[in-house]
Amino acid sequence: MQMRSQTGEELQSLAGSFIASLMPGTQATLITLSGELGAGKTTFAQGIARVLGVTETVTSPTFVIEKVYDLRDSPPAGGWERLVHIDAYRLNSSHELEVLGWKELLADEQNLIVLEWPERVADIIPPGAHALRFDIENEERIITINGQENRQ
Ligand SMILES: Nc1ncnc2c1ncn2[C@@H]1O[C@H](COP(=O)(O)OP(=O)(O)O)[C@@H](O)[C@H]1O
Ligand SMILES: [Mg+2]
């Protein structure tokens, strides 16, 4: 499925509708965001955070790798307890994500994990992840949901 957005604001609204179509399962819900720098991955993650009631400013976790937002005091949107926003851009191997507790994160169905740059850690992406790809066409962004990446 493909969608287009003309502005960052529109992309955030798309993120809101997308997340409304998901719900917690038996493991963490994982959304992977692929695309070059500036393609809109972080903007999309901000849209997810907004619709889930996160009031903190969501900034790119490029330098800290991972940021966790508590959703328990938020209005009941979605049903997850935590939003975990990860940017694997600076990681050199999936091992670096494993030492951050990746397995435990995945095992907890209360986690909604949004992962930028999944290509950096491709070998530890479980089947069943929601794979989104962002392509730039001038000021437009083309979002492809569940393309070929992450399929096993
Ligand atoms: N249609 C659009 N959708 C999303 N972002 C857009 C769009 N047009 C321009 N932009 C700009 O592109 C940039 C996207 O940045 P960001 O979301 O941080 O990307 P990434 O995380 O993929 O590197 C922002 O500066 C945003 O203002
Ligand atoms: Mg980013």
Distance 36 CA to ligand 1 centre (A): 10
Q: 30 phi and psi, to 5 degrees?
A: -120, 125
For residue 40, report the distance from its CA to the centre of ligand 1, in Å: 4
- Find the 11 Cα to ligand 1 centroid distance in Å: 9
pLDDT digits (tens, 9 = 90+) for 36-74: 999 999 999 999 999 999 988 999 988 789 999 999 877
pTM value is 0.94
Q: Is 5 in the pocket of ligand 1 (CB under 6 A)?
A: yes
| Residue pLDDT, tens place only, 98-147 | 999 999 999 999 999 999 999 999 999 999 999 999 999 999 999 999 86
- How many residues can be counted in the chain? 152
How far is 65 from 59, CA to CA, in rounded Å?
A: 11
In CATH, what class is 2-145? alpha beta
- Among protein residues, the one whose CA lies closest to atom 26 of ligand 1: 8
Separation between Cα atoms, residue 45 and residue 83, nearest integer Å: 10
One-letter amino acid at 41 equals K
Report the alpha-carbon distance of residue 92 to residue 20 in Å, rounded: 33
Residue boundaries of the structural domains of the chain = 2-145
3 or 152, higher pLDDT: 3
CA 40–ligand 2 middle distance (angstroms): 7
Ligand 1 close to Cβ of residue 61 (< 6 A):
no
